[in-house]
Every structure is written in C-alpha cells, then in structure tokens.
Amino acid sequence: MQIKPFRIEQYFGKYEFTAKYLLSSSDAESRTIQELLELEPGSQEKFLRHWCGYTESPGAPELREVISGMYKGIKPSDVLVMAATEEGIFVFYHALAGAGDHIIVETPCYESALELARSTGAQVSEWRRCYENGWAHDLAALEKLLQPNTKIIYINTPHNPTGLLMTASAFQQLIKLAASRGIIVFCDEVYRELEHDPANRLLAACEIYERAVSLGSMSKTYGLPGLRLGWLASRDTEILERCLEFKYYTTICSSAPSEFLAALGLRHREVLVQRNRDIVLRNLPLLDAFLRQRSNFFEWVKPNASPIGFVRFKPQREVQSFCEEVVKNAGVLLLPGTVYDQPHHIRFGYGRKNMPESLAQLSAYLDAHS
Ligand SMILES: Cc1ncc(COP(=O)(O)O)c(C=O)c1O
C-alpha cells in the first residue's frame, strides 16, 4: 500500500502538546472521565466492574443500541462501531474499493478521506470547492466527474475545514444523482449536531439513502476524542458486512472501557452538545470581530456549523512560515492551509473554553509584529 504523509496530523503532532494556546482544534472542549460518570447515578461503580475482555466485533450491544437511536430508521444491526472514526475511513475504503474502481472526493478535506481512497489503488477524482465562489457545491461539476465505474462519492457535512453545512438542496440533489446510478455515498458527519442553529441540521445520509454510509464520531461535537471511538451507520447490510470482515484485520473490536463511556456519553449527549454549542456560540462572534478588525490580514466565509472555520490570509507571504512563526513565538497553534493544499488559508478553531485568551495572545503578537 502506497500512502503519502498525513500532513494535518504531522503538523498537530509537532505542536499540539507543546503549544500553550490551541486556536485551530477541530474537537470541542473535552471532559474528564469523572465528569462523564457524574452524568448518570451508579455509573462509577458499574464502570469499575466493567469487564475488560474482548467485546463484540460490530460493537457492544448497548452502544449500538444508543447510536442507532440517534437516527431515524436505523437499527442496532445497521451500526458498526470502530476504534476511532479514522479506522472507519480506512476500513470503509479498503473493504469496498480497489483497482478498477473510481472514487470522487469532495475537497479540500480531512486528508485521510483523499489519501486513503488513493491508497486502495482506485482512481480518485477531486470534487473541488473554492473560496472565490463562497465554497459553493457545484453539482454540474460533480456530474461531469462521474464515470461508469464510479463506486463511491465522499462528502463531509458539516465540513472540515470550512465549518459550513452543505445546503439541503445540494445534499438532496447529490443523493438523487448517486441513487440514480447506485453509487455509494460515504458521508462524513463527525461534526453533526454542532450546527450553530440546530434548525439547519441535515438529515443523516443513512436515513435518506440506502446505499449511504454515515460516519460518526465521539471526538468532535461531543468533545471526547480520547475515547478513540467512531462508527459507520448504513441500511446496506452488505456494505457493513464487508467492513466488518476488514475490521477483523485492524482492531477486531473496540476498547471495552471506551465503549462503556461512549454509550454513557451518548445517552446524555444533549448535555455534552449544549455545553459545547454554548462555547462555540460565545466564541464565534469574538473571532469574527477579530477577523473584521484585521481585514487587511484576514477574511472568511463565516461558518454555520462545527468548531472550525477556514480563513483567507491576505498578506503576500507563505502561510506555513507565518503559522510556524506564531506558534514558536506566541505559543498559538494555527493550522496552515498548505496541509489541505490551500496555501492562502488558515484553519481556526473556536470550540475551546480558553479561546478568548488564545485570541488575545495572537492579537498582541500581530500588534507587536505587523
Ligand atoms: C472530517 C473528519 N473526519 C474524520 C476525522 C477523524 O476523527 P477521529 O479523530 O475521531 O478519528 C476528523 C478529525 O479531525 C475529521 O475532521
């Protein structure tokens, strides 16, 4: 298998645990295990007694039950639990695609969605979105990319890195197009339920199209990436069966303590979402005002979901060296768009409690150096 370096994770690997101010994280504020256990009386004792043997490969039954309850028309058997969402991307592509297949990937995107597709040996086309037209989804361009052997279309809504939702009409048109040709839609929904206005939430792809697979995660909206737990949800039993066959070669089953804590967290997810949405809604206007005040430096399409946004960097200088300078001198971690092949953008994150402080640090640094 040929695979390129994962630039996003490499960049975070270099600075995430040393930088003092994280201003580009895509996961919302986290919690302690104790805080999770406090969500439900008696759960601390249960957790301490929880058996640490292997669990069922498709996922612990109580967890599949609670995940299926998050969707309309999805049964526990339509859910395949993964040891992190990242495993879900790897397993999905490798179980379903290979040489001779064609995959379309919406870009810019979380890098593994593109590189893991390529690593299967399939031919991969990018369905490109661009800042100049407000990151709109060009359905006509998508249609032109289709080939007789197109097997999968990958989309991501709410979207990393722009923090934008696909419009309901683009989403419906895309599903219709895929359904007319029996193409599998792999819909990365890891930021779902963190729409800034919940009224804008789209239906999950697995709810509206039988050959769609929805990718879910504990990491982003719920702020629990340390559980390393994600899932695939689909009404297509053959797709899930093939992914399960592949999972036997990656992790066999997920971590028993993580499955316990994920089920507990999801049973109380309105508490997790409410706290994280409150943080996002408090931080976003501050970040937007900061960007407006510095409109000689920055501009963006203001996000409407997730804790991230993609900001155009106007000065004629390399964005990567700017971000490295900021992290080294001010301790503020920004993510340069070069890791998405977008050399004029920077990813900001506004899902952490201390974002106002991080922003103040960046502001002071820019004042002193521009
Ligand atoms: C769009 C998207 N999909 C998948 C992942 C992987 O998630 P996890 O860390 O839960 O494996 C990420 C993480 O940043 C992401 O942004």
Across the range 229-234, mean pLDDT stands at: 98
| Backbone phi and psi for residue 21, each to the nearest 5 degrees, phi listed first | -120, 110
Question: What does the pLDDT read at residue 325?
Answer: 97
* Same-domain check for residues 222 and 360: no
* Same-domain check for residues 79 and 165: yes
pLDDT (tens digit per residue) in 322-367? 999 999 999 999 999 999 999 999 999 999 999 999 999 999 999 9
Query: Tokens 């408090």 identify what position?
Result: 282
CATH number at residue 228: 3.40.640.10
* Same-domain check for residues 14 and 27: yes
Across the range 215-241, mean pLDDT stands at: 98
Most ligand 1 atoms within 8 A of CB, residue of 90, 107, 220 to mutate: 220
| Backbone phi and psi for residue 99, each to the nearest 5 degrees, phi listed first | -55, 140
pLDDT (tens digit per residue) in 10-28? 999 999 999 999 999 999 9
Cβ of 342 less than 6 Å from ligand 1: no
Question: What does the pLDDT read at residue 102?
Answer: 98
* Same-domain check for residues 231 and 281: no
Percent of the chain with pLDDT over 70: 100
Tell me how many domains the chain contains.
2
**Does residue 370 have a pLDDT over 80?**
no
* Same-domain check for residues 95 and 197: yes
Please report whether residue 327 resides in a domain: yes
* Same-domain check for residues 89 and 181: yes
- Final residue in a domain of this structure, among 237, 268, 299: 268
CATH number at residue 274: 3.90.1150.10
Q: How many residues make up the chain in this entry? A: 370
Please report whether residue 57 resides in a domain: yes
Please tell me what DSSP assigns to residue 100.
T
Mean pLDDT of the chain: 97
Question: What does the pLDDT read at residue 345?
Answer: 98
Query: Tokens 């979901």 identify what position?
Result: 305
- Final residue in a domain of this structure, among 242, 268, 294: 268
What value, to the nearest 5°, has the Cα angle with vertex 126 and ends 122 and 127?
130
* Same-domain check for residues 254 and 283: no
Cβ of 86 less than 6 Å from ligand 1: yes
pLDDT (tens digit per residue) in 116-158? 999 999 999 999 999 999 999 999 999 999 999 999 999 999 9
Contact 79, 58 (CB under 8 A): yes
Nearby residues of 6 by Cβ (< 8 Å), 6 or more positions away:
111, 112, 115
Nearest Cα residue to atom 14 of ligand 1: 26
- Final residue in a domain of this structure, among 236, 252, 268: 268
| List of E strands, the chain | 21-22, 79-82, 102-107, 123-128, 150-156, 184-188, 212-217, 230-233, 298-300, 308-313, 332-333, 335-336, 345-349
Please report whether residue 2 resides in a domain: no
Cβ of 157 less than 6 Å from ligand 1: no
From the CA of 87, give the closest atom in ligand 1: 11
- Please give the residue range of the domain that contains residue 155: 33-268
CA distance 41 to 46: 10
* Same-domain check for residues 191 and 298: no
How far, in Å, from the CA of 335 to the mean position of ligand 1? Answer: 15
Contact 275, 29 (CB under 8 A): yes
